[in-house]
Amino acid sequence: MAADSQKKATVSSTVEDYLKVVLKIEDMKQRASTSRVARHLDVADATVTDMLRKLKKVGLLEYKPYYGATLTRKGRQMAVRILRRHRLLEMFLHQVLGYGWEQVHQEAERLEHAVSDLFISRIDALLDFPAQDPHGEAIPDARGFRQVEDDLCLSEAEPGSYSVRKVTNSDPEFLAYLDKVGLRPATRLSLQEKAPFQGPLKLLPESGREPVYLGLEASRSIFVLPLKDRPPASAPLPEGRASQGSVGRPGRGAGKE
Amino acid sequence: MAADSQKKATVSSTVEDYLKVVLKIEDMKQRASTSRVARHLDVADATVTDMLRKLKKVGLLEYKPYYGATLTRKGRQMAVRILRRHRLLEMFLHQVLGYGWEQVHQEAERLEHAVSDLFISRIDALLDFPAQDPHGEAIPDARGFRQVEDDLCLSEAEPGSYSVRKVTNSDPEFLAYLDKVGLRPATRLSLQEKAPFQGPLKLLPESGREPVYLGLEASRSIFVLPLKDRPPASAPLPEGRASQGSVGRPGRGAGKE
DNA sequence: CCCTATTTTTAGATCAGTCTAATAAATTTG
DNA sequence: CAAATTTATTAGACTGATCTAAAAATAGGG
């Protein structure tokens, strides 16, 4: 309760976008280099150099020439705030306005810069303080705390039974496809073999559908939780990490209505 | 159904703001002069001169130097579209997110430029196609048709009984005050005397409250409908224009929840 | 350790939207 | 009707975000 001695320091939506991207890159344990940031934002490298320098000047990140950027506490705080807005908005669009999970990202991308804190707190309450967005990604809470995920990437998973935890790719085509073949957060599936170096990965979604084949790119954007019960035909489960689903609160999941 | 041969011609939110203001001024039967537009937008006159010229060039309005601007069909269409978005958003904020009527304007002002058509059509349906916003202003329909209002301004009204139709002033302080004294759309009130040239206008809101005194400015932003039943103590009703309330569909009115 | 390839930064420009100060047109008034 | 006042336009400049092209730094491979 130590008062808000933090100056409000409003930033442009462009700045918000830069911070978001740096956070995303850092979360992927990569170096936020000029070119990487540029690729994510689809701007020229030179533009990023300028902007990173500017953001360093206002104390939102550290910037070492020829190296890249690192968020400061203040910068990270802002970035997480945007992330929260983005994901809450996605959930709102999905749950209240009936958007498909492939439609929410684009709209949230614009709204996250336009809505007020009041708006955010109202939809948060309306949705009963959801812990995940429609893609299964964790929604940071109002204080900026983020759930630690202990899911694993499908491209790394050993054969076994899993439950889809999140999909970290917002391409509408791809998401529409996953939806069509019945792959969504909470979908159970089993994996007969580890992802090959080349070629598609074969999955069997529960609910007796056709097997699904995914490219490497695709399998890298799907994260799963191992299911401990009902071990698969042949291979034994990995071991310890049976974190068993309840990473968040029960909530309403990500069902379509 | 003659196809959309209209190019989508996306405009900046700045342009949207200019169009909106010109529409508003035209609706008030005034000339959209440089300085008037500048006052509404709180920018320098010189800025408006430039912008009006630019908007003329892209065919959104006519512009005569030293005279002012007039919307073209295309410009008016765009302006009405924004107006619709604005008012629908206000209604949404009020009805769904529980905003007070003094809070909705500012938020809608930002959102109107950020939301997609899908968003608008979804909230329209969710609200059951409302005909008025929380201030009682008509919401243009999806085709851009606008209800003709046959209300009259309190500053012009003869003594008699009336029902508040709309309040055309978005100042939060003022609206909070009206709310406090119980003046909202649909509130009935009676007027003992015509608004004086100088000094406050005295109103008696029904529901046995204290009389309310309004300045000229204030009384000019409140529009009412004459009530034909229960004529007031002394003066007879104006005459013909008893349009009797049902200007829109019944809807949910503008109640707070 | 030098040369090439890649990545990054610098330099210089552009565009939209804005400003102030100065000038010019229109309007009001003595 | 001409002077005074108001309103509008021009001129010149700035800011934030972007670009392209050229120069510089870093990183690898012989």
Rounded Cα distance between B175 and B166, Å, is 12
How many helices, marked H, and strands, marked E, lie in chain A? 8, 8
Supply the DSSP symbol for B78.
Answer: H
CA A219 to chain CA centroid, Å, is 15
Chain A residue numbers with beta carbons less than 8 Å from the beta carbon of B118 are 99, 103, 107
Check pLDDT > 50 for residue B256.
Answer: no
Distance A41 CA to C3 C1' (A): 33
Q: Are A178 and A184 in contact (CB under 8 A)?
A: yes
Q: Vertex A83, ends A77 and A86: CA angle to 5°?
A: 145
Place of tokens 């608004």: B195
A50 touches strand D (CB under 7 A): yes
Q: Which nucleotide is nearest to B65 (CA to C1')?
A: D8
C-alpha closest to that of A182 among A159, A203, A200: A203
Rounded Cα distance between A221 and A66, Å, is 29
Residue type, B114: A
Average pLDDT over residues A161-183: 93
Chain B residue numbers with beta carbons less than 8 Å from the beta carbon of A118 are 99, 103, 107
Residue of B nearest to A103 (CA): B118
Nearest by CB to residue A122, choosing from B97, B114, B115, is B97
The model's confidence at residue A79, banded by pLDDT at 50, 70 and 90, is: very high
| pLDDT tens column, A194-207 | 877 777 888 888 87
Q: Vertex B40, ends B39 and B45: CA angle to 5°?
A: 40
C-alpha closest to that of B36 among B67, B58, B74: B67
Nearest residue to D8 (CA, C1')? Answer: B66
C-alpha closest to that of B124 among B136, B135, B133, B111: B133
Average pLDDT over residues B187-198: 83
Inter-chain contact B97–A111, Cβ cutoff 8 Å? no
Q: Which nucleotides of C are covered by protein (CB under 7 A)?
A: 7-12, 16-22, 25-26
Instruction: Give phi and psi for A144, each to the nearest 5.
Output: 95, 10
Give the mutation candidate from B10, B13, B86, B110 for the A interface (greatest A CB count, under 10 A).
Answer: B110
Hey, is A100 helix, strand or coil? coil
Rounded Cα distance between A146 and A130, Å, is 13
Check pLDDT > 90 for residue A234.
Answer: no
Rounded Cα distance between A19 and A22, Å, is 5
Instruction: Report pLDDT for A124.
Output: 97
Higher pLDDT, residue B95 or A206: B95
Both tokens assigned to A164: 């889809």
Instruction: Report pLDDT for A200.
Output: 84
Q: Are B183 and B212 in contact (CB under 8 A)?
A: yes
Instruction: Report pLDDT for A76.
Output: 96
C-alpha closest to that of A93 among A85, A84, A82, A103: A103
Instruction: Give phi and psi for A131, each to the nearest 5.
Output: -100, -20
E runs forming strands in B91-236? 152-153, 160-167, 188-191, 201-205, 212-214, 222-226
Place of tokens 């169009």: B19
Nearest by CB to residue A111, choosing from B115, B118, B126, is B115
Inter-chain contact A119–B96, Cβ cutoff 8 Å? no
Instruction: Report pLDDT for A149.
Output: 78
Domains belonging to chain B, first-starting first, are 13-71 (1.10.10.10), 79-147 (1.10.10.10), 152-226 (2.30.30.90)
The backbone region for B88, taken as left when phi is positive above 0, alpha when psi lies in -120 to 50, beta otherwise, is alpha
| pLDDT tens column, A1-28 | 444 445 677 999 999 999 999 999 999 9
First and final C-alpha spacing in chain A: 38
The mean predicted confidence, pLDDT, of chain B is 86
Supply the DSSP symbol for A257.
Answer: -
Instruction: Report pLDDT for A6.
Output: 55
Q: Name which of B59-63, B65-69, B215-219 the model is least confident about.
A: B215-219
Chain B residue numbers with beta carbons less than 8 Å from the beta carbon of A110 are 114-116
C-alpha closest to that of B51 among B24, B25, B17: B17
Q: Are B123 and A93 in contact (CB under 8 A)?
A: no
